[in-house]
Amino acid sequence: MSAPVLVIKGLQVSYAGNRAVDLAELTVAPGEVVGVVGANGAGKSTLVNAVSGWSRGAPRVAGQITFAGQRVDAWPTHERVRAGLVLVPEGRVAFGRMTVEDNLSAAFAAAPAPGRRVYSRDEIYELFPRLAERREHLGQQLSGGERQMLGIGRALMMGPSVLLLDEPSIGLAPKMVSQVLETLRALARTGLAILLVEQNVRAAIEVVDRLLLLERGRKILEGPAREVGDDPRIAEAYLGATAA
């Protein structure tokens, strides 16, 4: 496996003095899909948001985030995006009153760079034929699965070398879940590094190389998906998530 393109060290994120994430180390290499799972409130969204430099509230973020050999933890979100560190946020359409076509056209198009593949709009339609069928529909008319495809499509047009995803399976029909996750797996085969936050542990295990279990912001288990998939703590997180 090649050297990691994303290295997170000593990441601590707190809201009003309450520690939401406390992670000693997390790496993702090109072509690798790393899954972060855990029950509600475990800190999964806080983690990917901190990596992308975005936040809902006003968290205090400390630690080192190294992306493609550069420290980016002091960079604003848009600079991380321009460099190829791109977050697909949870279940939202960028522009609800714009068509699928316009949503894609409005995506920031990165300049071609080594190790980064910038997708064209037509390539996104090839990847997700469903979006091509819906190209004249407004963002707000799309189903959950179609919104997710649009979010991933926009992100790919920004030429990511690391893609961060927050719960891409949420609100999706089971068939759509496997379709979206299989697409991510296929993208990783092209060399993209993927950090995938998921509550749907069973679905995540099918596509990730490595799985990390978070509990109250801390990593309590990490290993190859095949090995840790049967760990009772994973099953507990899964049951916790479904109960929630």
Chain positions contacting ligand ATP, by CB under 6 A:
15, 20, 38, 40-46, 56-57, 199
Cα–Cα distance between 96 and 199 in angstroms, integer? Answer: 25
Q: Which is nearer to ligand ATP, 20 or 104 (CB)?
A: 20
Looking at the Cβ atoms of 38 and 160, the one nearer to ligand ATP is 38
Cβ proximity to ligand ATP: between 158 and 214 the closer is 214
Smallest separation (angstroms) from ligand ATP to the CB of 184: 18
From the list 243, 201, 244, 195, the residue with the least C-alpha distance to 225 is 201
Beta carbon of residue 71, minimum distance to ligand ATP (angstroms, whole number): 23
Check the CA dihedral 212-185-172-78 and report its sign: positive
User: Please, which residue, 49 or 103, has the CB nearer to ligand ATP?
Assistant: 49
Q: How far is CA 47 from CA 73, 98, 147, in A?
A: 13, 30, 22
- Least separation in angstroms between residue 155's CB and ligand ATP is 19
Residue 49: CB minimum distance to ligand ATP, A: 7
Residue nearest to ligand ATP (CB): 57
Output the smallest distance, CB 177 to ligand ATP, in A: 16
The closest alpha carbon to 180, from 160, 166, 191, belongs to: 166
Residue 208 CB, nearest distance to ligand ATP (Å)?
A: 16
CB nearer to ligand ATP: pick between 38 and 89? 38
Q: Judging by beta carbons within 10 Å of its beta carbon (0-12, 13-18, 19+), is residue 211 exposed, middle or buried?
A: buried
Cβ-based nearer residue to ligand ATP, 107 or 180: 180
- Side chain identity at residue 230, one-letter code: D
